[in-house]
Amino acid sequence: MDEPDAVPPEDEPALIHGSISSLSRGQLVVHPTRADYIDMVGLLYDDGYRMCVDLTGADYLMHLDRPLPAGVVPERFEVVVNLISTEMRRRIRVRVQLPEDDLTIPSIYRLHPGTEAMERETYDMFGIVFTDHPDMTRILMPDDWEGHPLRKDFGIGRIPVQFKGAPPAR
């Protein structure tokens, strides 16, 4: 049952290249472990999923009990990758759980060069480090910025807004 279109019996999840899969709003989702992530993306590439249209992170600080398929252990952070096969006209989503105390995952840059900026954005906003990335530096925030703004525990600041032609504050 390693083919992406395989349908499992009712009581067991489908396996895609050895990883648990599920459906989310009609889209196929595969849940590899961090150790299997690079191999999974490579195998999906070989299956025809050659275009990476999105790569981002997610912080589930307030939703650690979210529903996941049996066998997938929920962690606070997740890396989410959306791949497309133009030949088959299909999409697949890859979701990898990352523990809060070890936010590292291999880069898929060598297989999908277009992810260079997406991995940097994910690092900048969530603090997820992509190992073997050619330039793991901030891309959106200033170099001296402290913290990662899309983390759910990032403090909310306040910047006063000044409107053109508004009377001066008293």
Q: What angle do CA 31, 36, 41 make, to 5 degrees?
A: 75
Q: Using DSSP, state whether 22 is helix, strand or coil.
A: strand
For residue 170, being part of any structural domain is answered with: no
Q: Listing from the earlier edge strand, what are the strands of the sheet with 15-16?
A: 15-16, 19-24, 27-31, 90-98, 77-85, 51-59
For residue 73, being part of any structural domain is answered with: yes
Q: Whole domain around residue 102: which residue ranges?
A: 15-131
CA distances 116 to 15, 60, 138, Å, are 29, 24, 12
CATH code for the domain of 49: 3.30.460.80
Token pair, residue 73, equals 């252990």
For residue 144, being part of any structural domain is answered with: no
Give the residue from 123, 130, 80 showing the smallest Cα distance to 108.
130
**Count of structural domains within the chain:** 1
For residue 10, being part of any structural domain is answered with: no
For residue 5, being part of any structural domain is answered with: no
Confidence of residue 8 (pLDDT cuts 50, 70, 90): very low
Give the residue from 90, 99, 135 showing the smallest Cα distance to 115.
135
Each residue's pLDDT tens digit, 104-146:
999 999 999 999 999 999 999 999 999 999 999 999 999 999 9
Q: Is pLDDT of 158 > 60?
A: yes
Pairing of strands 15-16, 129-131: unpaired
Token pair, residue 15, equals 């396996």
Secondary-structure percent of the chain, ordered helix, strand, coil, rounded to 5: 15, 25, 60
The pLDDT of 3-24, averaged and rounded, is 72
For residue 137, being part of any structural domain is answered with: no
Residue 10 has φ and ψ, to the nearest 5°, of -55, -35
For residue 161, being part of any structural domain is answered with: no
Select, from the ranges 5-19, 41-55, 143-157, the one with the highest average predicted confidence (pLDDT): 41-55
Count the alpha carbons within 13 Å of 133 in the hemisphere toward its beta carbon. Answer: 22
Q: Provide the whole-model pTM.
A: 0.85
For residue 166, being part of any structural domain is answered with: no
Token pair, residue 3, equals 């083919």
Burial class (CB within 10 angstroms; exposed 0-12, middle 13-18, buried 19+) of 49:
buried
